[in-house]
A and B are shown apart, each in its own frame.
Chain A
Amino acid sequence: MKRFFEKFVESALLISGSITSITILLIIIFLFKEASGLFTTPVIEEGYELALNKTNPVKHLTSYEIKEIFDGKISNWNEVGGKNEAIELVRLSDLTKYYTEAELGSNFENIPAKSSELTSKHPGIILFLPTSYIKKDFNGTLLKHETLHPGDFFGGKEWYPTASPSPQYGLLPLLLGTLWVSLGAILLSLPFGISVAVYLAEIASMRVRNILKPVIELLAGIPSVVYGFFGLVVIVPFLQKLFQLPVGETALAGSVVLGIMALPTIITVAEDAMRTVPRAMKEASLALGATHWQTIYKVIIPYSKSGITSAAVLGIGRAIGETMAVLMVTGNAAVIPHTLLEPVRTIPATIAAELGETAAGGGHYQALFMLGVILFVITMIISISIEFIGKKKYSN
C-alpha cells in the first residue's frame, strides 16, 4: 500500500513535470493550426471578382500589384507586364459614371449585363465587383482566385490588413520595426547593465549591494503596462521636445522604455556570470600586481564573456516579445522605419492591437497568428542559442 502510494505520487509528479513540454507542444500545434490557413486565403476579398478586358494579356496580378493599382500608384498595364495601356479603375459605385441609374435598372437588375458590356468595350479596364453580379456569359477575363503567396507575406513591404480589394499582409515593416526597437533598447541598456553588474559583483560593498538588489528586483516587478504609461506621459513628450518631432511616439521612445525594462534581466544574468569566476583566478591576477580594475577587464570580463553574451541575447529576447509598453509608446505606424525617430509598429504590438477586431478564421486572424508563429520561432531560436552559449562555456 505504502509502496503503491509512492509509485502513484511519483507518476503524478512526472506528469506535472512534463506539463511545460506539453504546453510548448500545444502552443506549436495551436499557433500553426490557426495560422496555417493564411497561405490558402484568396488574395482578393472573398465574394468579389476582378475582371479585365479579354484582349488584356495580363492574366495574373499579385496581391501587392492589386493594391498598388487601386491606390493609383500603378496606372499603366505595362508596369505589370501588359500592353502600354492606361489602367481604368472601376468599382461598383463607379458604374454610375458610365451608365445612368435608369440604365442600371431600378433594382440594379441590369448591373450584370452592363458590367459585362463595359468590360468588353474598355481595353484598359479593371472592374471590381461582387461575384453575384457576374453572369454566366460574362464578356471578359476574371482573374483567377489566387491564394496569398508566402513571398507576399515574408517579403511584403506593406501591412494593411483592411485594404480593399486586396488586404496586405507584409511582414517586413513589422519585423524591421521590432528589430529596430529591440536593437535600440539593447544598445541603450547593455552598457548600463554590464556596468551595474560589474559594480554589484566586484566593487560594491555588501551594504550597497543590499540596496541595489531590491531596486533591481522592483524594476523587474513593475508591470509592463505601467512602463508603457510612464513612457506615454513622460518619455514621449520629452523626446518630442528634445528632437522637435511632430509626434513623440517613436521607435526611440520604445527603445528607451524597453531598455529600462531589459535592465534587470541583463544585470542579473551578467552578475551571476561574473560571480562564477573562480576566486583563485582573480587572486592570481591581483597577486601579480594588477589593480582591481585591471583584474576586472583582463580576467573577470573575459572569463564571463559567455554569460554576458547570454545576458545580451536574453535582453533582446525580452525586448522582442514585449507587447504593452511598446504598443503604448511607438506610434504603431506600419511602415518600414528609416530612423529611430519615426513611429514604428512591432509584431507583438500588432497582434495585441488588431486581434480583438478580427473575425476568427479570417485572413487577418490567420495573419496575426502567423505573426505569433514568427514571434514564437524567434524566441525559440533565442532560448536555444542561450542553451548553446551556456554549453560552450562548459566545454571550454
Chain B
Amino acid sequence: MKANNKSENNTNINSPSGVRGSESIDRSKRRSQAIAFTIFKLMSYSVVAILFVILGFIIIRGIGVISWDFLTKAPEEGMTKGGIFPAIVGTLCLVAGSSIFSFPIGIMSGIYMNEYAGGSKLATFIRIMTNNLSGVPSVVFGLFGMALFVNTMKFGDSILAGSLTLGLLSLPLVIRTTEESLKAIENSYREGSLALGATKLQTIRKVVLPMAFPNIITGLILSIGRVSGETAPILFTVAAYFLPKLPTSIFNQVMALPYHLYVISTSGTNVETSRGIAYGTALVLIVIVLMVNLLANGLRNYFSKKVKTN
C-alpha cells in the first residue's frame, strides 16, 4: 500500500481540525480508496501476467525446437521437418526493402511537418491524413498493394511489391516519431542558431537533427519490429507458401516468418506434426521483437548520455 501514503497525508490534514466530517466518514473514504487502488493494482499486474504467460508459453515450448539446423535449413517433408531459413531471409529482405523506402521519406516528411509547415492549414491537413493512414487496417494495405504494385504496376508477387506495401504501412509511424522527436527540441536552440546567421536548413542539419537523432533512431528501430511481424500486407504481395530457394532479385517471391507461422499453424499439410516448428517460428518472432525493443531502449540511453557528456 505504498501508494496510499501520499493520499493519507491529505486526509490527515483536515482530520485534526475536526471542522468537517466525522471520523467514520474519513474512515470510509479511506477504505474505498484502499479497495479501488487494490483493484487497479491487481488489474495492472494481471497485464504483466498476461505478457509473461504469452512469452513464457512460447519460450518454453519453442526453446527445444531452436537449433542451428532449425535456423539455417529450409523446411522439409511438407514443412513438418527442417528449418525456417528461407523465411528468416525473406523477412530480412522485406524489412530492409521497406526501410529503404520509408525511412528517408518518413524522416523528410516529419522534418517538413515540424520545421516548415508548423501550424499551417496544410500541416493540419497532412497531419490528419497521416493519422488516418495509421488507422487503415493492415489488410487494406494488402489489398491496395496488390491492386497497385502487383497488378497495375506489374511487379507481380515480389519483394519489391511487398516492401513498398510494408513501407507505406510503416510511414505514419516513422513520420510521427520524427515529428515528435523534433518537437521535443526546444525552440531556443533553433533561435540560437538562426541568430548566428545560420539558414533554416543549416539549423536543421547542424543543430536540430543531431539533437533529435537518438529519439528518431529509436522510433525507426521500433518500426522495424512492427514491419517484421506484419502478415496481412504481404499475403497477396510477396509471401510464398513454400519456397526453399533464396531470392536472387527484388522481383522474386519470398517466404516470411509471420506468414510461415500462419501457414503451418492453420493450413499446413499436417498441422499437428508441424506444431513444434510453429512454436519455434513463434519464438523467433518473439525474440526479434524483444531484441528490437531492447536495442531501441539501449540506443536511446546510449545516445542521451552521449549528447550530455559529448
Assess A/B contact in the complex (Cβ within 8 A).
Answer: yes
| CB pair B139 A352 closer than 8 Å | yes
Residues of A with C-beta under 8 A to B171: 19-20, 23
Enumerate chain A residues within 8 angstroms of B30, measured Cβ to Cβ. 291
The interface-forming segment of A53-61, A113-121, A167-175, A203-211 is A203-211
- Nearest residue in A to B34 (C-beta to C-beta)? A293
Residues of A within 8 A of B108 (CB): 12-13, 16-17
Asked if A232 contacts B129 (CB within 8 A), the reply is no
Cβ-based interface call for B117 (8 A): yes
User: In the complex, are the beta carbons of B137 and A355 less than 8 A apart?
Assistant: no
Q: Is the CB of A23 within 8 A of B133?
A: yes
Cβ-based interface call for B125 (8 A): yes
B261 lies within 8 A of A203 (CB):
no
Q: How long is the Cα–Cα vector from A360 to B156 in the complex, in angstroms?
A: 13
**A228: interface (CB < 8 Å):** yes
Known A199-B44, A263-B47: A214·B116 in contact at CB below 8 Å: no
As a 0/1 sequence over residues 292 to 320 of chain A, the CB contacts with chain B under 8 angstroms (1 = contact) are 11101100000000000000001001001
**In the complex, what distance in Å separates the CA atom of A375 from the CA atom of B292?**
31
Instruction: Evaluate contact between A10 and B116: CB separation under 8 angstroms.
Output: yes
Is B301's CB within 8 Å of the partner chain A? Answer: no
6 nearest CB pairs, A to B: A223-B229, A321-B137, A292-B7, A293-B33, A16-B108, A17-B112
Q: Which chain B residues have a beta carbon within 8 Å of chain A's beta carbons?
A: 2-4, 6-7, 10-11, 13-14, 20-21, 29-30, 32-33, 36-37, 39-41, 43-44, 46-48, 50-51, 54-55, 57-58, 104-106, 108-109, 111-113, 116-117, 125-126, 128-133, 135-140, 142-144, 146-148, 151-152, 168, 171-172, 175, 199-201, 222, 225-226, 228-232, 235-236, 258-259, 261-262, 265-266, 275, 278, 282, 285-286, 289-290, 292-293, 297
Q: Is A372 an interface residue (CB 8 A)?
A: yes
- Ordered by A's residue number, 12 sampled pairs between the chains whose C-beta atoms are within 8 Å are A10-B116, A13-B109, A17-B113, A20-B133, A27-B136, A196-B40, A221-B225, A226-B54, A226-B261, A290-B10, A314-B135, A383-B128
Residues in A with CB closer than 8 Å to B2 are 205
Interface of B, helix, strand, loop or mixed by DSSP:
helix
Q: Which residues of A contact B13 (CB under 8 A)?
A: 289
A342-396 residues at the B interface, CB under 8 angstroms: 348, 351-352, 355-356, 360, 368-369, 372, 375-376, 379-380, 382-384, 386-387
| Chain A residue at minimum C-beta to C-beta distance from B265 | A229
Interface contact A214-B129, CB-CB below 8 Å: no
Contact, CB under 8 Å: A21 / B137 = no
- Bound Cα distance from A165 to B56, whole angstroms: 51
Cross-chain contact A294 with B29 (CB below 8 angstroms): yes
Which stretch, A29-37, A69-77, A136-144, touches the partner chain B? A29-37
Of the stretches A40-48, A86-94, A122-130, A322-330, the one at the interface is: A322-330
Q: Which residues of A contact B266 (CB under 8 A)?
A: 232, 327-328
B143/A224 in contact, CB under 8 A: no
